[in-house]
Structure 1
Amino acid sequence: MTPLSPLLSPEIEDLRLRTRDFIRSVVIPAEPAPGERLAESERTRLQAAAKDAGVFAPHVSREYGGQGVPLASWSPIFQEAGYSLIGPTVLNCQAPDEGNMHMLELIGTPEQKEQYLRPLVSGAARSCFGMTEPHPGAGSDPAALMSSAAKVDGGWVINGHKRFTSGANNAAFCIAMVRTAAVDGAGAGSSSPAAAPAGATMLLVDMETPGVRIGEQISTMDRAIGGGHPHVHFEDVFVPDTAVLGSPGQGFRYAQVRLGPARLTHCMRWLGLARRAMDIALDRTNTREIFGSAMHELGIAQDMLALNVMDLETSDAIITKTAALLETDAKAGSALSSVAKAHTSEAVYRVIDRSLQLCGGDGVTNSLPLASYLNEVRAFRIYDGSNETHKWAIARRASAGRRREVEAGAPLLATVDADQSFTGAEA
């Protein structure tokens, strides 16, 4: 079996192959029927098997119970996990826990890591991330954040309303993004933190804290993320100063630590599922005859299969590049993750849609999982920032970057003289 990337180290390639074998031999036979959720008892059993197989929590350091894979090498492992809809849950690298683990490991205090990260990595606890709010609050525009926390003696009092809080029904804690006023470090008692600017702050909130209430459930087309996407209310919720993740007022900066890699890992997992859909289509076209020919010999089927390969490979390439960049230049990597997210979310949908088409009537039935796959991946074009928002940001960055080049002396390539002849770019 050749690796997905020739740059994989022997250790990573070994883990990829073991993950591949585990997903195919243990996880896929245990998959629930299309559209149904994984039972809690099965999750527990399968996660124990993943630990025994040495493939559990690949993205977390060994110190906290993971496999210690560096971010630049996550993609081949996450793609193997994503080959099954329940694979990421079984390996404990599913959203939102995976993103919360990554952020806690990078910016959590030693005490926060023991209290929140270690049980999260082990699978003993689950989590949610409270960012999205009902209109006109934070959604595609995080600057519209309305939930707030007021500084009081020894801690903070949170009031706010979140929605699409993925995983909240099963969560032991929430990382809540709230707006906070400036703290001068002198007016809230001896336990007050150092001075901090106004801005957004991330607070670790146990879901059993008085005043935390799960509200209306939101029924969505996707089923892969356990714990639903409900509304969550914070009503005079007190948390101590030790609940601050990072520093007060720096929440938007810390959010990039989470959101860039998190949107990229969605791409990795869904690309694995698209590879599964492609394999289903290849098995169909290799074994079915129509109009006197094998399907794989028909030009129209070949075109669809070729387009699938192109979408798979271009997605893999941009994911790999972005993951490497996130380890060396987080700001540039976060910007490129918008490109990866917008491209991959649309590419994997196309791959699954073509695969379903190639399977004809069977493709729209539950005898194959392709219809349920479409439901899962369609939502990704909205989750983690709508593709339209990402494309807006991508275009703005491209325009600003070119303006800086021109200001630094680069020629304007689209300038024309009065006689309509181009200047600055003649061959």
Structure 2
Amino acid sequence: MNLLDVERDPAIADLRRRTRNFVDRHAIALEDRAHVHHPDALDAALAALRPVAQAQGLYLPQLPREQGGLGLTWVQRAVVLEEAGRSYLGPGAMNCAAPDQPNMISLLRQGTPAQQRRYLEPLAAGRIRSCFAMTEPAPGAGSDPSMLQTRAVRTEGGWAITGHKWFITGAVGARFAIVLAQTDEGPTQFIVETANPGFRLVRSIPAIDPYAIGGHGEIVLDHCKVAHDAVLGEVGQGFVYAQQRLEPARLSHCMRLAGRARRALELAQAYVTRRHSFGHRLADLQQVQAMVADCHMKLHACRLMTLDCAARMDAGLPVKTESAMTKVFVSEALYQVADSAAQLMGALGMSEDAPVALILRELRPFRIYDGASELHRATLGRRFLQSTPGDNP
């Protein structure tokens, strides 16, 4: 299914309309500055919205119908996630927000039936939350996952995990974490319940983005004992699984955050049409018109790159190169759109009296999360230079 197929599909058009209506009438109506850096207040708002999203048939767009989802393709998902992303509450209300969304996909792909019953089912139902714990303080894993320091050793009853993780999105209030740790056989993923005595949430790290569900936690694992069945997938395959998780995760970010940037532009356009300066509406000034036009072109380019990558994923094609290019371009272009929106609104765009300043703060970390732009550029450059002309690297 390509862009034209999506545009012509009446079922997807109806789903887009219903998602936008849900976001406008329910999610945006519940937005509150009290949610800024307040995971508990944010969780309460999402808990109120999820039954509404379920009743309106908008819940779990990323999961198959057998798991209670909408069974959408990646291309179809792009349309829905962009509309959901117009509010910071939209994706969480529809249970398609990070880190739970990619964790659900990991559990669906690598989880045993018992793990899926214990973790995937309540996660999909919205009864619990989760996090993914890979990033570590120096000299541990960051942009280079091969620097992984957290260690898991076999014990008589299973495994003992020791390590230090930080900037773990979703950690505050999570019921379990998918922890990446080094073993003798290689990096391995473990499901660790946060009630485990060896698992300690040190703090929620204050960060630039205001609405991260579950904040960004710092975690210490101190001889954290788990059973053999806590391994997610196969021992030694953790990096493979993390990469499989990362490509769809970064593409989903592109979809959701495109909605945030579009919301910022919508607000800026409304502002310049009613604001007068030096005897004219701001909207009548050519420089303002040019800024608005540039923003729409960037959004269009972002959408096309995202849809192209989504179509390749639907076709079962590898997207290692395409997802990296899309992530770099989209993360930078969306921030530029939000920055222009804030500029168009002047002092109001710098304040929390309007959502644009907060949207700008949400978009800035995307150039770091899921791989910094500089890392992706270096990797892409090497890949292109080493490829044979005409090949798809």
TM-score category, normalised to shorter length: over 0.9
- Distance in 1 (alpha carbons) for counterparts of 2:56 and 2:296: 31
Question: Identity over the aligned pairs, expressed in percent?
Answer: 39
1:72-221 counterparts in 2 under 5 A? 72-181=75-184, 198-221=185-208
User: Number of residue pairs matched?
Assistant: 385
Q: Which amino acid aligns with 1:21?
A: N
TM-score, length-normalised on structure 2? 0.94
Which position in structure 2 is the counterpart of 1:21? 21
Q: Secondary structure at the match of 1:202?
A: strand
Which position in structure 2 is the counterpart of 1:320? 307
- Distance in 2 (alpha carbons) for counterparts of 1:335 and 1:114: 35
Structure 1, gaps ≥5 residues long:
182-197, 409-427
Which position in structure 1 is the counterpart of 2:383? 397
- Distance in 2 (alpha carbons) for counterparts of 1:113 and 1:13: 32
Q: Does 1:254 align with 2:252?
A: no
* CA-atom RMSD in angstroms: 1.8
Which position in structure 2 is the counterpart of 1:194? none
- Distance in 2 (alpha carbons) for counterparts of 1:128 and 1:201: 16
- Distance in 1 (alpha carbons) for counterparts of 2:320 and 2:281: 45
**2:339 aligns with one of 338, 343, 353:** 353
- Distance in 2 (alpha carbons) for counterparts of 1:125 and 1:217: 18
- Confirm or deny: 8 A CA contact 2:264 2:341 kept in the other structure: yes
**2:264 aligns with one of 277, 281, 285:** 277
Q: Secondary structure at the match of 2:225?
A: strand
Which position in structure 2 is the counterpart of 1:423? none
Deviation for aligned residue 1:288: 2.6
Q: 1:385 to 1:34 in 2, by over 3 A?
A: farther
Runs of 4+ in 1 over 4 A off after TM superposition: none
Q: Which amino acid aligns with 1:16?
A: R
Q: Secondary structure at the match of 2:192?
A: strand
Structure 2, gaps ≥5 residues long:
none
Deviation for aligned residue 1:296: 2.2
Deviation for aligned residue 1:381: 1.0
Deviation for aligned residue 1:135: 0.5
TM-score, length-normalised on structure 1? 0.86
Bigger mean CA deviation after superposition, 170-179 or 360-369: 360-369
Q: Does 1:383 align with 2:369?
A: yes
Deviation for aligned residue 1:6: 2.8
Q: Which structure would you say has the larger Rg? A: 1
- Confirm or deny: 8 A CA contact 2:167 2:217 kept in the other structure: yes
Q: 1:35 to 1:377 in 2, by over 3 A?
A: farther
Q: Secondary structure at the match of 1:232?
A: strand
**1:58 aligns with one of 53, 58, 61:** 61
Of structures 1 and 2, the one scoring higher in RCO (CA 8 A, sep 6+) is: 2
- Confirm or deny: 8 A CA contact 1:281 1:359 kept in the other structure: yes
Q: Which amino acid aligns with 1:6?
A: L
- Distance in 2 (alpha carbons) for counterparts of 1:6 and 1:287: 35
Q: Which amino acid aligns with 1:359?
A: M
